[in-house]
C-alpha cells in the first residue's frame, strides 16, 4: 500500500504529475522541472516533503539513546538547534543521514527527520535500542506535515505567517509558532542550497493544510515537485540516501566526517571509522563533477581515466539548470579525487570529458539572507 501526503488529491487536481517515491505517492512536478528549479534559485518555491520520516524521541534517556546511535555529539545541541548527523552500523556503514532537532521549549524532546526510504529500519533500530531506557519513540510521520519554502524570497514570504522576527533566526534553528491554528515548528533549513524555512505542521487536516499551502502559493511562491528537489540537491552536492550513500559506504569515503564527532566517547560504528582513518585510508571518495563535453551523466555510468581504465562510477547524475551542463556525484579511486582532475565519462559507446570538483557545483547561499 502506498502512502500519501494529505494534500495529494489537491496536487492532482491542480495538474501535478504524481509519481511514486519510497512507497509514497508524491508530486514529481507541477509545471516543469526547469521552471520549478529556476523559481527556487531566483525567487521562492514550496515543496511538500511530508514523505520524510519524522520521529519523536522523548524522555529522561533520550539523549543517552541518541548519543549512542548518532555520530554527532547530541549533548552539545542547544534547545531549538538542529544538527545534521549520520546513523552508522558497527562496520561504519551509513544506516541513514538525518537531522536531529532539540525542541525549543520542551526539555528531553528531540525530533529526528530522516529519509522516507529508511522509515521502517530507523524506527526499528531506535525502538530496539531503547528497551531498557526511559525513552519514548513515537513515529509522527503520519500526524504531522512538512512544507519547505526555499529560495531567496523565502524570508520575506515566511515572515508573513508569524509575528516573530525571523531575520535573526540562524540557519538550522527553530522556533515555535502557530499558523492557521496549527501548532508549528518553524525551522530555518532546507536541501536546495538556498536560504529556506521548513514548517513542521502538527496537523493532518486537509482543509487547514490546503489553506496554508494556497496562502503561500498566492504570494508568488512556485509549487515544486520531487524532480526539482532532486535537481537542486544535485547542484548543491547533497548526497541522497540509497543512491549516493548507504550501508555499503562509510562517512570517510562519502566525505561526511563533518557530521561525525570522533571526540565523542563512543557511538555505534566509531571503532570501524577509527580503523578506516588510522589503517586503511579510504579507497575511494564521493566527489562532484561537471561535464566539459556535452553529456548527461546517469546513475551507473562508468568513470574512466585518460587511458581508459575504470576508476569510478556515477551515483547521481543529471542536468544543471543553473549552469546548462551535465553534472553528477560519483565515487572515484582516492588518487583521482582531486580538484580539477580531468576524467572521462562513458556514455554508452562514447567517452566524454569531465572535471572533478570537491566543492558543490552551485555554491550554497543559505546563510546569505
Partner 1 sequence: MSEEFEVPSGYYYTREHEWVKVEKDKVRVGITDYAQKKLREIIFVELPNVGQKVKVNETLATIESVKASADVYSPVSGKVVEVNSKLIDNPELLNEDPYGEGWIAVLELLEEIKYEDLMDPDEYRRYIEDLEEMRVEE
Binding-site ranges for partner 1 (CB under 8 A): 12, 15, 32-34, 227, 231, 294-296, 298, 318-319, 347-348
Q: How far is the CB of 192 from partner 1 (least distance, A)?
A: 17
Q: How far is the CB of 346 from partner 1 (least distance, A)?
A: 13
Q: How far is the CB of 287 from partner 1 (least distance, A)?
A: 22
CB atoms within 10 A of CB 314: 23
Between 148 and 347, CB nearer to partner 1: 347
State the Cα–Cα distance between residues 135 and 137, nearest whole angstrom: 7
Between 23 and 173, CB nearer to partner 1: 23
The upper half-sphere exposure of residue 219, i.e. CA atoms within 13 Å in the direction of its Cβ, equals: 20
Which DSSP string do the residues of 104-118 spell out, in sequence order? SSSTTEEEEEE-STT
Between 6 and 317, CB nearer to partner 1: 317
Q: How far is the CB of 234 from partner 1 (least distance, A)?
A: 11
**Range list of H helices, the chain:** 8-13, 33-42, 62-69, 119-129, 154-159, 206-218, 226-236, 270-275
Convert 173-212 to b/e letters by CB count within 10 Å (16 or more is b).
Answer: bbbebebbebebbbbbbbbbbbbbbbbbbebebeebbeeb
**Residue whose C-alpha is closest to residue 359's, from 191, 236, 233:** 236
Which DSSP string do the residues of 145-170 spell out, in sequence order? EEEEEESTTHHHHHHTT-SS--TTPP
**Range list of H helices, 181-313:** 206-218, 226-236, 270-275
Between 12 and 177, CB nearer to partner 1: 12
State the Cα–Cα distance between residues 315 and 301, nearest whole angstrom: 8
Between 34 and 365, CB nearer to partner 1: 34
Count of H helices and E strands in the chain? 8, 20
State the Cα–Cα distance between residues 155 and 165, nearest whole angstrom: 10
Q: How far is the CB of 195 from partner 1 (least distance, A)?
A: 25
Between 37 and 188, CB nearer to partner 1: 37
State the Cα–Cα distance between residues 18 and 26, nearest whole angstrom: 5
Q: How far is the CB of 113 from partner 1 (least distance, A)?
A: 27
Residues in the chain, overall count: 369
State the Cα–Cα distance between residues 172 and 327, nearest whole angstrom: 27
Q: How far is the CB of 151 from partner 1 (least distance, A)?
A: 20
Q: How far is the CB of 347 from partner 1 (least distance, A)?
A: 8
Q: How far is the CB of 343 from partner 1 (least distance, A)?
A: 20
238: phi then psi, degrees, rounded to nearest 5:
-85, 125
Between 300 and 340, CB nearer to partner 1: 300
Amino acid at each position: 500500500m502506498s502512502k500519501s501526503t494529505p494534500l495529494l488529491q489537491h496536487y492532482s487536481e491542480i495538474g501535478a504529475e504524481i509519481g511514486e517515491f519510497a512507497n509514497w505517492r508524491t508530486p514529481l512536478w507541477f509545471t516543469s522541472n526547469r521552471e520549478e528549479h529556476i523559481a527556487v534559485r531566483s525567487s521562492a518555491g514550496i515543496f511538500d516533503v511530508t514523505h520524510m520520516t519524522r520521529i519523536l524521541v522523548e524522555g529522561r534517556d533520550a539523549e543517552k539513546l541518541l548519543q549512542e546511535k548518532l555520530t554527532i555529539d547530541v549533548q552539545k545541541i542547544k534547545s531549538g538547534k538542529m544538527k545534521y548527523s549520520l546513523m552508522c552500523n558497527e562496520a561504519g556503514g551509513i544506516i541513514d543521514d538525518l537531522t536531529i532537532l532539540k525542541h525549543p521549549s520542551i526539555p528531553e524532546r528531540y525530533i529526528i527527520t530522516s529519509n522516507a526510504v529508511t522509515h521502517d529500519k530507523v524506527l526499528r533500530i531506535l525502538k530496539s535500542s531503547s528497551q531498557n531506557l526511559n525513552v519514548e519513540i513515537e513515529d509522527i510521520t503520519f500526524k504531522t506535515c512538512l512544507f519547505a519554502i526555499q529560495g531567496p524570497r523565502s524570508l520575506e514570504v515566511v515572515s508573513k505567517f508569524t509575528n516573530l522576527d525571523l531575520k535573526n533566526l540562524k540557519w538550522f534553528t527553530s522556533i515555535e509558532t502557530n499558523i492557521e491554528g496549527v501548532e508549528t515548528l518553524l525551522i530555518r533549513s532546507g536541501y536546495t542550497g538556498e536560504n529556506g524555512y521548513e514548517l513542521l505542521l502538527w496537523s493532518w487536516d486537509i482543509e487547514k493544510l490546503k489553506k496554508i499551502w494556497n496562502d503561500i502559493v498566492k504570494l508568488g511562491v512556485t509549487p515544486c515537485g520531487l524532480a526539482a528537489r532532486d535537481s537542486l540537491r544535485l547542484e548543491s552536492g547533497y548526497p541522497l540516501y540509497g543512491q549516493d550513500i548507504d550501508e555499503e559506504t562509510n562517512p570517510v569515503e562519502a566525505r561526511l566526517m563533518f557530521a561525525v564527532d570522533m571526540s565523542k566517547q563512543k557511538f555505534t560504528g566509531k571503532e570501524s571509522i577509527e580503523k578506516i582513518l588510522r589503517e586503511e585510508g579510504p579507497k575511494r571518495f564521493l566527489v562532484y563533477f561537471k561535464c566539459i563535453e556535452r553529456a548527461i551523466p546517469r546513475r551507473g555510468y562508468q568513470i574512466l581515466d585518460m587511458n581508459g581504465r575504470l576508476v569510478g562510477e556515477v551515483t547521481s547524475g543529471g542536468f544543471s539548470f543553473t549552469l546548462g551542463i551535465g553534472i553528477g556525484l560519483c565515487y572515484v579511486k582516492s588518487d583521482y579525487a582531486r580538484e580539477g582532475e580531468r576524467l572521462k565519462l562513458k556514455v554508452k559507446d562514447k567517452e566524454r570529458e569531465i572535471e572533478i570538483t570537491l566543492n558543490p557545483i552551485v555554491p550554497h547561499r543559505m546563510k546569505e539572507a
